[in-house]
Every structure is written in C-alpha cells, then in structure tokens.
Structure 1
Amino acid sequence: MSAVVGRVMGEGFRVFFLSAGLYGVFTGLVWGIWLAMQAGGASMGEPSYAMSPAMWHAHEMIFGYSTAALGGFFLTAVPNWTGAPGARAAYISAAAGLWLAGRMAMWFSASLAPWLVAAADLAFVPVLAVKIASQLLRRPKPQNMVFLALLAFIWTANLMTHLEWLGLTGDTLGTGLRAGLLTLCSMIAILGGRITPAFTRNAMKRDGEPEEAWPVSVERLEKTSLILALALPPLILLFGAGPLAGALALLLGLIQVLRLARWRARWALRQPILIALHLGLGMLALGLILWGMALLGIGSEVGALHVLGIGCVGGMTLAVMSRAALGHSGRALVAPPPMALAYGLMAAAALLRWVGAEFGGIYMAALLATDALWVAAFGLYLVSMWPALVGPRAAKSG
C-alpha cells in the first residue's frame, strides 16, 4: 500500500488525474441524486454546503474538477516544455492536499465561516502557478507564459464567486462562474490548437501518409484564435456576459471551425485517442457559437454553457488525461475500448443537455440522462486508466 501511495504522489499526473476522475464521479452522483429527488418530489433536507445545490454543482465542476485536471496537466507538461526537474513528491502531496481542502471546505461550507471557505478554496491555484512559473522561467517563452495569465483569470473568477457568498458584492457569482468556464475554454483553444494537429501529424507520419496530407495550421488563424482566446476571459470579468462577449465568442467559435477543418479529423477517426481531441475542439467551436448567439438573443444560454462545460471541458480533459496517463506510464497510446466509449458518452451527454435546455418538455429527463452519461464516462475512465494512474510503469518491450 505504501508503494502505491508513494507512486501516486510521486508524479503530478497520477494524483491529480486520479482525483479528477474520482471527483467527476462523486459530483455527478451527488447532482444526480438531488435531481432525482427533485423529480420525485422528495426533499434531501438541509445540505452540508451553504449555497444552493445548483450553485455548488456549477462551482465544483469549474473550480473543483477542472483545477485538478489542470494541476495534473501543468505539472506534467511544463517540465517537458522547459527541461526543468519535475515537482518533488513533497510538493505534489502538499498541492493535492490543498486541492482536497478546498473541496472539503466547499462541501461543509454550511458549517464553516465563509472567509475560511474562501481561503481554503482559493489556495490551490496560486501554489500551482508559483511552481509552474519557476519552471517556465528556465526557458521563458511567451507562448507558454500566457498560461500564467489564464490561471490568474481562473483564480479571479473564483474570487468573484466567493465575494458574493461573503456578502461583499451583490452580483458577481454568475460573472465568476461564466468567466471561469470561458477561461478553461480559452486554455483548450490554445493548448488544443497546439497538440491536436501535432499529434495528428505525428500519427499520420508514422502511418506513412504523404506530407501533403498532414494537418495544416494557418498562421493568421492561429494568431487570431490566440488573441481572441486571451481577450475573452478579462472581457467577461470586467464587463460581464453581454453582447460584446457574445460577439467575441461567436467569432472565436467560427475561427475554431476554420482551424479544425484543416486538421484531418476524418483520418483521425481510425484512432479513438486521437479523434477525442478533435471532438473536444469541435464541442468548443459549437459551444462558443451557441453561447455567442444566446448572448445576442438566439437560443438558450444554459444549453450553450453546458455544451462548453460537458462537451468541451469534460471531453477534452478526458482526452488529454487518458493520453497523458498512458504515455507517461510507459503504455501504448491506444485507448482501451471502455475509454473510447467514454469519449462518445461525454459528447452525447453534452448534446443531450443542450436538447433538454432547448426543448422544455423533456428538461428533467434530459438532465437525469445527461448526469448518468457523465458518471458512466468517468467510471469507464477510472476503470480504463487505473493501471496507468496507480500501477507501476509498463515494462518496455524488446
């Protein structure tokens, strides 16, 4: 047992990707139980958290689950980008403890002072940012340093939710939640725009595809996407989710469509672990377009936000976590069949949640089915990735 704990705490991707999977199941089950009781006319009694169940659910998806996924990604990727030594086990354990303390504080917030809840929940991201900043400064490149700004936007968005719960502001909760989600989407637009064509190109090269068939990235589109992705979160933080943010999101979504069209998604269909990246970015494009239209008065904003939250953030984190877990544990980059199914279930959940928001007659049934698909997807992720996250590195063949 001690060997397993030491292994899990010895590499950032292990403890944080495991925590993300477990928390994805936990939050899904809690939300599903509440929905089922609401549908049946039953009462859960007083919850252990201070906010409404819907606000706890929204907050923990954005600032709980997603920050665990970010922690695992950055602690694994940044040393590869810069050549810096990976974080030591002591740091990883302390950072994981801070993340867990935030989750516990939110869960028991009804019994805790609001300032204590805020302090516990806001502690993890700065500690993560300081660590990756120290690593990025070894080889400071602007294209990597931008992630520090995005982490600052996420932290500020979370602060805005707590300021309202502290009674210091009257209307910053909704803005904080939207800004947090759209900051995650901006990260995915930037990171996904790097890794998706690169991984597709590498796979096509290994298969002997001619160079003219490889993915193509157009510099003008890439720069425009970067600028828009970096502009959207602070725009929401400063001015809220209004028509200007809607227009910018709509434009960014259309840019994503143009980028994806050149990245050979049809060829990637033969490899689930690869097409999952394209699918996550496709959900990003769709969600941004739907959200932009909703802010301009066309369609449901709630439905659009869930396409982004479930399809883009949920789908892309599953794709990246599974790929990184396999690769960094010495395993082949081939998604096991249950993992491939999980990718599809997450995309289906996003579309079903949008349908439920647009067609009120099936709203509650769609919510319950969406939640079931979410829990199933994360259950399959945990089953598929458990050996990679908890077990020893795979022995090299040959």
Structure 2
Amino acid sequence: MGSEPKAFDRTWPQRGFLAAAARPMFLLAALWAAGAVALWQWAPSVIARLPDPLSWHIHEMTFGFGGAALAGYLCSAISSWTARAPIQGLPVALLALLWVGARVALLLPALPAWIAALCSVAFFWSVAALLFIEARRAGKGWQPIFIAVAMVGGAISGTWILFMATGAFHPAFPAIAVLGFAAMLIHIGGRMVPAFLDYAAKWEGRTVRAVPALPRRLTLVAVAAAAASLSYGAIDAASFALIAAGLLMLLYIATWPLAPAGRDVLLAILTIACVWVPVGLVLWGLSLLGIGLAPAEAQHALVLGAMGGHFMGLGARVFAHRTAEGLKARAGVGMAYLLILCAVPARMAGLLDLSAALWCLGWLGFALVMAPHLTSPLPRPVFSGSRL
C-alpha cells in the first residue's frame, strides 16, 4: 500500500483551465483590470463613442473587474463550505462567456443596451444559481448572503447599463456601488485575512488572542448608513458615517496578529489591502467635508488599493507554491503587487498617466505569472494551505 499523501500534496481530481472558476475568472479579471484602464486612459476615440464614458469606467472597474474576481472566488471557495469539488467544466465556461459577452456588448454602442444588460444580469444570477445548486446537492454549506449579493449585484449592474443608455442616471449610483464592494471586502476579507494570520501565527508558535467580531459588524452598519445617506443626498451624514466606518475598521485590524504579514508576501498583500479599506473610507468621508482629496480621488483608494489588493492577493493564492509551511507566493507576484500599490498614491496625486501605467503593468505582469499554472492539478483547498 502506498503511504498517505502529505497534507500539502492534496488535490482535487479535476485538472485543467476549467477545473475551478478561480482559474479563468481571475485571469479575466487581471486582463480586464489592465484593459479597461488602458482604454479609459489612452483610447479616447473608443471611449468617446460610448453613451456615458465615465459611468462605463466606474461600472467596469466594479461590476466588470470586481464581478469577475468575485465570481471566481465564490464558485471556488464553495468547496470549503460544501466539502464537494469546486464548480468546474461547462458551468465555468458559461460564466466566462457571459462575462465576456457583457464586456464586448458594452463597447459596441450600435448594439441595443439590453443585450449587455442581459449578459451582465445572467452572469451574476448564474453565480447565485450555482451557489444554490451546490449547497442543495451537498445538503450543507448554504451561504445565503452571497447568493443575495450575486442576485442584487446582477440587478444593479443590469439597471446601471440601461441607465447609461437612457441618461436616467442617479448621481449616487457609482458611490453606492463602490460602497457595496467595500462592504463585501469587509465581510469576506475581514474574516478571511485574520484567519490566515491566526493560522500563520500559531504555526510560528505564537499565542494568539481571539479577534472580536463586533468592530467588523459595526463597520458594516456604518457603511450601510453611509450608502443610505448618499442615496438621500445627506452628504454631511454620509461623511460622518464613512469616517466612523474607517475608524471602526482600523480598530478591528489592530486586533489581528499582524506579525506574520511582515514575513510572507501573500499575507502582506491581503493585509495591506485590508488597511486600504479604512484609509479609503476616512479619506472619502473627509473629502465630502471639503477636506483633503476630491471624492473621486478618495474613492480610488478603495477601488485600486482595497479591491485591487484583495483580488490580487486571492488570485495569487490559486496558483501559489504548496509547501509544508503553507502557501508561498510565486516569483513575480510581489513585484506585480508593488506596481499596483504604487499606482494608488499616484492616482490620488493626479498623476493619471503614471498611475494607469503602473496599474496596467502590474496586472499584465500578474497575468503572465499566473497563466502557466492554470492547467495543473487543482489544489485542495483552492485558496488556503491544506488542512490536516
């Protein structure tokens, strides 16, 4: 009889590009992160043909780039909740096709807007349906909040696309969308990252105290209050809610065992991305009071710093080295992240060409590092070190 496989050798039986949604969707997210920004910054003739260029840019950096990464995460992480293999094969191909269809249709103004809206709604609702089906098949692993997020995300994305075509666009819509993704980062990253740090600290023999959940929950309440205030045009109330959310999130991060992040690239990326959340929220709140940056620059701290860092940190774990000590970043990941990290202050300083160049180079470099590792046996679990 052969010996039991070591914990860090465990894989799912599936292999290949469609073995998990994380593989094609994180690759598409990386390519579109670069492509959408390059079009916005250096292809004015293409963007000028669109009905509402600014709304397109914001939509594609949230529901395009963010939507791809979110789908890749949810449809792969579900294996940790159901104990079944990740969603793979034809359903993953369908998700990728719907996502690409929405991107292409949005760039072709001659097409009716409902085509792009239908593709986008179908993409998000397919994610919700797959999560529901997998949980039902397993009889466990229900994640109703993620199913609801995918359903609501699809409805908002489709409505947004139709609004772009008709011009009936609510001014608070983009800000609320950014806050929605910030809430997801707080909910997902705010639980996942301290868990990773806790595991690493215990591996190093450190005594780890329990991380309280209350500050994270209060942060989510404050973010919801800010979104509601913005929707009603209550700017002062929104500013104070944003600042309160940022301070609460900072208090929450201060309770984490942060030391392992100083010695591990993958943990450092996710931890820095989490720090961008309170920074972005506070800067945004201050900007609404006329202090510091303009609101658009402050929001980029969340979109580029927090979202970009979270999605690159998660994507890097999909193809990381699996060792007895845990996941280790592939060569080149740290440099790719450093480029997008530097893009954030450059954008907030108004250095648009420099910021766009750093961002695009970082994501293209990340895609190049990722691509050769997307057909090998699928690690088990997908996003974390193997569990004994």
TM-score grouping bracket, smaller chain normalisation: 0.7 to 0.9
Give the counterpart of 1:263 among 245, 253, 256.
256
1:386 corresponding residue in structure 2: 371
Partners of 1:329 and 1:51 in 2: CA distance = 50
TM-score, normalised to structure 2, is 0.85
- Which amino acid in the other structure matches residue 140 of structure 2? R
2:140 corresponding residue in structure 1: 139
Question: CA 1:45/1:316 → structure 2, altered by over 3 Å: closer, same or farther?
Answer: closer
1:78 corresponding residue in structure 2: 78
Question: CA 1:180/1:133 → structure 2, altered by over 3 Å: closer, same or farther?
Answer: farther
**SS in structure 1 of the partner of residue 328 of structure 2:** coil
2:386 corresponding residue in structure 1: none
Give the counterpart of 2:236 among 237, 243, 248.
243
1:30 corresponding residue in structure 2: 39
1:363 corresponding residue in structure 2: none
* Number of residue pairs aligned between Structure 1 and Structure 2: 364
Displacement after TM superposition at 1:298 (Å): 2.3
Partners of 2:150 and 2:326 in 1: CA distance = 31
Give the counterpart of 1:372 among 335, 353, 357.
357
Partners of 2:226 and 2:157 in 1: CA distance = 16
Return the structure number with greater helix share. 1
Asked whether the 8 Å contact 1:58–1:177 carries over to 2, the reply is: yes
Partners of 2:369 and 2:194 in 1: CA distance = 25
Q: Answer with 148-157 or 193-202: which moved more.
A: 148-157
Map 1:1-398; keep pairs closer than 5 Å: 7-34=16-43, 44-45=44-45, 47=47, 49-108=49-108, 110-136=109-135, 138-139=139-140, 144-167=143-166, 170-172=168-170, 174-209=171-206, 211=207, 214=208, 216-229=210-223, 233=227, 235=228, 238-239=231-232, 242-299=235-292, 300-326=294-320, 333-356=327-350, 366-392=351-377
Describe the superposition over 1:84-142 as per-residue Cα deviations: whole angstroms up to 9, x where unpaired: 4432411111111111111111111x11112223222322111111111333453366x
Displacement after TM superposition at 1:48 (Å): 8.1
Partners of 1:350 and 1:156 in 2: CA distance = 30
Partners of 1:330 and 1:372 in 2: CA distance = 37
Describe the superposition over 1:335-362 as per-residue Cα deviations: whole angstroms up to 9, x where unpaired: 1342112222222211221122xxxxxx
Asked whether the 8 Å contact 1:329–1:393 carries over to 2, the reply is: no
TM-score, normalised to structure 1, is 0.83
Describe the superposition over 1:25-45 as per-residue Cα deviations: whole angstroms up to 9, x where unpaired: 2223223323xxxxxxxxx54
Task: Flag the structure with more relative contact order, 1 or 2, with Cα contacts below 8 A and sequence separation at least 6.
Answer: 2
**SS in structure 2 of the partner of residue 111 of structure 1:** coil
Asked whether the 8 Å contact 2:305–2:344 carries over to 1, the reply is: yes
Displacement after TM superposition at 1:390 (Å): 3.6
Asked whether the 8 Å contact 1:12–1:87 carries over to 2, the reply is: yes
Describe the superposition over 1:303-359 as per-residue Cα deviations: whole angstroms up to 9, x where unpaired: 111111100111111011111332799996211342112222222211221122xxx
Q: Answer with 378-387 or 150-159: which moved more.
A: 150-159
2:5 corresponding residue in structure 1: none
Partners of 2:75 and 2:247 in 1: CA distance = 31
Displacement after TM superposition at 1:237 (Å): 7.9
**SS in structure 2 of the partner of residue 129 of structure 1:** helix
Displacement after TM superposition at 1:66 (Å): 1.0
Partners of 2:267 and 2:297 in 1: CA distance = 26
- Which amino acid in the other structure matches residue 79 of structure 1? S
